Amino acid sequence: MHKIALNFEDGVTRFIDATADETVADAAYRQGINIPLDCRDGACGTCKCFAEAGRYDLGQEYIEDALSEEEAAQGFVLTCQMRAESDCVVRIPASSQVCKTEQSSYQASISEVRQLSDSTIALSIKGEALSRLAFLPGQYVNLGVPGSEQTRAYSFSSLQKDGEVSFLIRNVPGGLMSSFLTGLAKAGDSMTLAGPLGSFYLREIRRPLLLLAGGTGLAPFTAMLEKIAEEGSEHPLHLIYGVTNDFDLVELDRLQALAASIPNFTFSACVANPESQHPLKGYVTQHIEPQHLNEGDVDVYLCGPPPMVEAVSQYIREQGITPANFYYEKFAAAAA
């Protein structure tokens, strides 16, 4: 049995289980998800999707008009013919609503709230329902703010373990979630999650990685690195973590532990404030070395506030280098 992540164009991700002898389309249909298809015989191309990760067999039963040899080489698949040979990630060119599914919702309770610094809160929640929660490292969920009808989006900062997941949350003065966590929250309080969501997640590692985090944009990377620590990687990985002030630096011990468990992983942390006491000052772009970009044979992952995303994008363009892949996610703090 293999786990297949179906990523829909509206950002919703659903996971299904597929046996070795059933097609992905049949497995999805068996679990209540209707991937668009018509002929089921590899003749029409209606179910054409893109396989972003995993091993699979397409067989020989489809025709060129439905899926060309060039498309198959690029990673396109016909889900009516595709049989998984490992866990896979498949991008579906349709919304979740069209496929008669929706994001999942979970109920859990706060297990721990820790003030890591004046600017950062660590939140862990746990519940039996979360033992069934599956997501791709780097994705996020919408967390309901207790006592309100509103939600806030946060990336997972850990993998799911024994029904528990964690988040790094920026402490925003006047922020709805921040005010709850710093003033009212206690262990056992109920919280709801809806998701997973997002197209920012760890792909199959095929070349060196450069990971760039700004502030609490570190969260998705600690989840990614936990996954890499489990599975290993033959490629070098480097993380540059940038913050504004010294007190914004958090989770350095955790990064040290990850570096100790991932042989080819290194990281550096820098502080933009020129009055910082931290040994490495400046912005993330000032600490990207030529070897990190590897003459373009590199996958860049970037998560941070919009100005940082724009600055990094411009810096890479100015170097005259085009990374093999450039994945990014912008975030902005929300007040009350």
> At 51, is the secondary structure helix, strand, or coil?
strand
User: CA 211, CA 239: separation in Å to the nearest integer?
Assistant: 4
Segment 146-172 shows an average pLDDT of 94
Q: Are 331 and 303 in contact (CB under 8 A)?
A: yes
Segment 303-328 shows an average pLDDT of 92
Q: What is the DSSP letter of 156?
A: B
The DSSP annotation for 171-211 comes to --TT-HHHHHHHHT--TT-EEEEEEEE-S-------S-EEE
CATH classification for the domain delimited by 209-330, as one of 3.40.50.80, 3.40.630.30, 3.40.50.1980, 3.65.10.10: 3.40.50.80
- Tell me, what's the pLDDT at 207? 95
Helix axes 219-231, 252-261, angle to 10 degrees: 20
Give the model's confidence band at 336: pLDDT under 50 very low, under 70 low, under 90 confident, else very high.
very low
- Tell me, what's the pLDDT at 335? 47
CATH classification for the domain delimited by 2-92, as one of 3.30.420.40, 3.30.413.10, 3.40.50.620, 3.10.20.30: 3.10.20.30
51-88 confidence digits (pLDDT tens): 998 999 998 888 888 898 899 999 999 999 999 999 99
In one-letter notation, the amino acid at residue 15 is F
Residue 250 has pLDDT above 60, yes or no: yes
Share of the chain above pLDDT 70, in %: 99
- Tell me, what's the pLDDT at 216? 94
Which of left, alpha, beta for 75 (phi over 0: left; psi -120 to 50: alpha)? left
This prediction has a pTM of 0.82
Q: Are 58 and 68 in contact (CB under 8 A)?
A: no
Q: Are 41 and 56 in contact (CB under 8 A)?
A: no
Q: Are 108 and 193 in contact (CB under 8 A)?
A: yes
- Tell me, what's the pLDDT at 198? 84
Residue-range domain boundaries for the chain: 2-92, 105-197, 209-330
Q: Are 111 and 53 in contact (CB under 8 A)?
A: no
- And the tokens for 310? 């724009």
Segment 172-195 shows an average pLDDT of 92
Segment 291-320 shows an average pLDDT of 93
Residues 6+ away with beta carbon under 8 Å from 193: 105, 106, 108, 125, 130, 133, 141, 142, 143, 144
User: CA 251, CA 246: separation in Å to the nearest integer?
Assistant: 13
CATH C-level class of 105-197: mainly beta
Give the model's confidence band at 333: pLDDT under 50 very low, under 70 low, under 90 confident, else very high.
low
